[in-house]
Structure 1
Amino acid sequence: MTRRLGGGSLVIATHNEGKLKEISALLGPYGLKCISAGSLGLPEPPETGTTFVENALIKARAAAEASGLAALADDSGLSVDALGGRPGVYTADWAERQWFEGSPGRDWYMAMGKVEGMLQQLGPDTDRSAAFHCVLALAWPDGEHAVYEGQCPGALTWPPRGEMGFGYDPVFVPSTRDGSETFAEIAPSEKHAISHRADAFAKMVADQFGA
């Protein structure tokens, strides 16, 4: 049986207050007080893993060991079948500007264009199947851990459409919903209900707080 979280504090291994707020809303009903690694002054460990699971565990374990509390981390990204699963764990890296491409930051249009360019090089009949993945890793200070994997299958389209998403959302059409709208064209509440993160959280909640 998977070890279960008790009440009390749970460290969310992030320095992003938006992510902390989102996760707090999801876990608040289960008696957990979520605090961010950033608010505790914990450093962000290098994400040296080659899979979503490895990177999520690296972050969760580092936060649990440094804080002495149970910790939750996530790692997510896009995998494209025809590209051998890329960009995968390098999903965000593909959007990083190089020194000659302007000010530091992420250019998601550039990243979407890179994916599209590689698909077009493979020919007009190339399989455009893709999926968003999310891995949630729970870790305790004594080393015990649990992992929950979620995904949202779909296909890529071009050109980008929609203004409501972020990242690769404007080129991703989920297959878990009828229609041809991209993630960036549907209401955020609708997206969150079918997303890879929702799938992973549903599995975690069922395992941790189910009967």
Structure 2
Amino acid sequence: MKPIVLASGNKGKLVEFQQMFETQGIKIVAQSEYGVGDVPETGTTFVENAIIKARHAAEISGEPAIADDSGIEVDALDGQPGIYSARYGGPGAGAVDNYQKLLANMQDKSNRAARFRCVLVYMRHAKDPSPIIASASWEGSIAQGPQGGGGHGYDPIFWVNTDNCSAAELPPERKNALSHRGKALVDLLAQMKALGELPTGETS
């Protein structure tokens, strides 16, 4: 079975994908191992950006590729940051810059409802005309301030109502069960199995 390239430089995402796919006997490899760099995300939707990233990684690596485009949508901000979540804080901004800007923009907002959205695209090769697409969301709200040292991105300020803690305070197994990315991955794996894209039989 060929390895699958993850079209992302995000180490947190890489760990999550590896955890999910190793149970299927699939090796997920970071795009950097093939010399794949980031590609401009010129799409206007999560789906468009995920396809752009997956095609770029598959073209350069010569391997199948999976791309994730995800972000946080805040109702009081008309769905922002959305597809701009990773660069919300401006050029060169890191995760803390991004969520601090979001918290600042939420100071006078009473409606703190929000959700994480994730779209996953699997491309068998760079010219794949029918990539497999999965999507899911994770409902929650914006906390008053950051809590917890786990996770990545906006996790410290995303309040998980069902567990009464931030996403950054969840154990990895629990996060994978609840999260937008975890649910989208389950959907993606189911579609890949149905289409014969995963090995059959017992896996270690």
**TM-score, length-normalised on structure 2?**
0.82
- 1:82 equivalent in alignment to 2:76: yes
Over the matched positions of the two proteins, sequence identity in percent amounts to: 38
- Who is 1:189 aligned against? 173
RMSD over aligned CA atoms reads 2.3
Paired amino acid for 1:170? P
The correspondence of residues 107-122 of structure 1 with structure 2, limited to 5 A, is 108=96, 110-121=97-108
- Contact 1:61 / 1:140 at 8 angstroms: preserved in 2? no
Unaligned stretches of 5+ residues in structure 2: 196-204
Deviation at residue 203 of structure 1 after TM alignment = 0.5
Letter in 2 for 1:150: A
Q: Structure 1 residues 76 and 107 mapped into 2: Cα distance closer, same or farther (>3 Å)?
A: closer
Q: What stretches of structure 1 of length at least 5 have no aligned partner?
A: 1-6, 99-103
What displacement does 1:210 show? 5.0
| Deviations, residues 98-145 of structure 1 (Å, cap 9, x unaligned) | 6xxxxx55151x433322332334x5xx32110011111111323231
- 1:33 corresponds to which of 7, 27, 31: 27
CA distance in 2, matches of 1:117, 1:17: 27
For 1:15-164, list aligned pairs within 5 A: 15-16=9-10, 19-96=13-90, 105-106=93-94, 108=96, 110-121=97-108, 123=109, 126-141=110-125, 142-144=127-129, 145-164=131-150
**1:162-173 alignment to 2 at 5 Å?**
162-173=148-159
Per the TM alignment, residue 8 of structure 1 is displaced from its structure 2 partner at its CA by 2.2
TM-score under structure 1 normalisation?
0.80
Deviation by residue 1:43-71 (Cα, 9 ceiling, x = unmatched)? 32111112211111101011222333321
Contact 2:86–2:95 (CA<8 Å) still a contact in 1?
no
Q: Which has the larger radius of gyration?
A: 1
Classify the secondary structure of the residue corresponding to 2:70: strand
Deviation at 1:36, TM superposition (A): 2.7
Q: Quick one: structure 1 residues 152 and 68, their matched pair in 2 at CA, closer, same or farther if it must change by over 3 Å?
A: same
Aligned partners of 1:138, 1:32: CA distance in 2, in Å? 13
Match of 2:198 in 1: none
What is the CA–CA distance in structure 1 between the aligned matches of 2:143 and 2:18, rounded to whole Å?
33
Give the direction of change, closer, same or farther, for the CA distance of 1:184–1:66 in structure 2 (3 Å limit): closer
Q: 1:46 is matched by which residue type in structure 2?
A: P
Return the alpha-carbon distance in structure 2 between the equivalents of residues 20 and 166 of structure 1: 11
| 1:43/1:168 CA distance change after superposition, 3 Å | closer
Say if 2:12 and 2:152, in contact at 8 Å, map to a contact too.
no
Q: 1:119 to 1:20 in 2, by over 3 A?
A: closer
Distance between the aligned counterparts of 1:185 and 1:65, measured in 2?
Answer: 37
CA deviation after TM superposition for structure 1 residue 16, in Å: 4.4
- Determine the C-alpha separation between the residues in 2 that align with 1:18 and 1:116: 22
Stretches (4+) displaced over 6 A: none
Contact 1:60 1:138 in 2 (8 A): yes
